[in-house]
Structure 1
């Protein structure tokens, strides 16, 4: 049991590290080296990284790499309460380590790829809720239990991250992920609007559960009690 939990934590730490390092790194490189990637390139880096991590660690931890997704699985009854803290702790550790390394590599960059709203705060908040809702909606419909794994799961979820980043990036930064926002914000000191990215994605993933259940029925959101075997 300990070995399984340890493997899960290592996987979530590495997966979240990869997401923040590659995604935020793409933003930094684009800013510092003549916008060679562009908005489309940055969006694709986020989506491709998520896809790669799902295929790499989906069978180990489910490749949540996002506290809002972990909570979304809990809201849907797919993981137990005691699993939440280890997942989220490891996700935040991965994000902070990645942001710290980016700071060492690109110390001249002010935000380190932090998510900062370009429009009004209300617009950014609502957009993050909606984007997170659609992300969790897709995840619940293509995952098995709380595991993001399978032949097409990586493509579907990575593609969702990419198209949402393409659409929402210029407005809110399209975080959909409290860990992705917290790491760069803490290391760079850009904390004034962090509350948006810590709260809105969780609201969005909470809203996805009843919608999935309406479409898929009881098969979407249920979990077996490990002690009794009953749903």
Structure 2
């Protein structure tokens, strides 16, 4: 016991009796450093999601313009567009999936949020990142190819009813597959990019001749905002989102609760970041010598 007391005495800080430390408020808690790390992680997720959507949207629009310029027939153009869309999605998931989850699509974010696979507080941030990536892709597309918005925009050839039903079906299929590989621990996660990319390819082949193969609200909204042409944009927003919600809900009903997989975004909290940073700013420490 005496040895322990002696050790504690030597470990105490050696301060003169005339020196005292006074603090106003509380000292900054350890949460501040973790909040900074969470803020950095949050920024990485935002940039990663914006880049993911940029890569996919720019690729699809560029291929669509190129096939039109080369005067390819309808079948060749559709095949090129579907394969490029699927490959771009697959590459993006493999490249940025571990950074942001690579939702790429607001319909995916909304559906994941509703089935509680993705936190509600991050959903608006992800949607904004996706729209930002799509808008940047559209603006750069105009720089590279000129004002070819009639080709770059998503255009339907069927009726409005046919287009919205087709977009809803594609959204259902996409989110059913996404929910399978992303929310179920029994799925082989390494093949998620391949499965989702193949689904995008099939969806464009199926619905492309009818609705134009939007499938992604950001794909339609980005060039629409850049060109200020909002013709039938609501079809490409409502269709995939409603269909996606139904597809995610369907797999949610089929999946046992015990095999639920942890969702992307659970490791960061906007509320914690704001609270910790605000607390750090309001906390002050003063030192005085008496």
Work out the CA distance in 1 between the residues paired with 2:188 and 2:123.
19
**In the alignment, what sits opposite 1:20?**
57
1:84 lines up with 2:127 in the alignment = no
**In the alignment, what sits opposite 2:144?**
105
**3-state secondary structure, aligned to 1:152:** helix
1:75 lines up with 2:129 in the alignment = no
**In the alignment, what sits opposite 1:5?**
42
From 117, 135, 154, give the equivalent of 2:193.
154
From 60, 75, 78, give the equivalent of 1:39.
78
1:61 lines up with 2:105 in the alignment = no
Q: Higher strand share goes to which structure?
A: 2
8 Å contact 2:183–2:262 — kept in the other structure?
A: no
Which ranges in structure 1 are unaligned for 5 or more consecutive residues? none
Residues 119 and 70 (structure 1), Cα distance of their counterparts in 2 relative to 1, 3 Å cut: same
8 Å contact 1:59–1:149 — kept in the other structure?
A: no
Which ranges in structure 2 are unaligned for 5 or more consecutive residues? 1-37, 269-290
Q: Which structure has the larger Rg?
A: 2
From 254, 263, 274, give the equivalent of 1:215.
254
User: CA offset at residue 144 of structure 1?
Assistant: 4.5
User: CA offset at residue 78 of structure 1?
Assistant: 0.6
Count of aligned pairs between the two proteins: 225
TM-score of the superposition, structure 2-length normalised?
0.73
User: CA offset at residue 203 of structure 1?
Assistant: 0.4
Work out the CA distance in 1 between the residues paired with 2:189 and 2:94.
8
User: CA offset at residue 220 of structure 1?
Assistant: 6.6
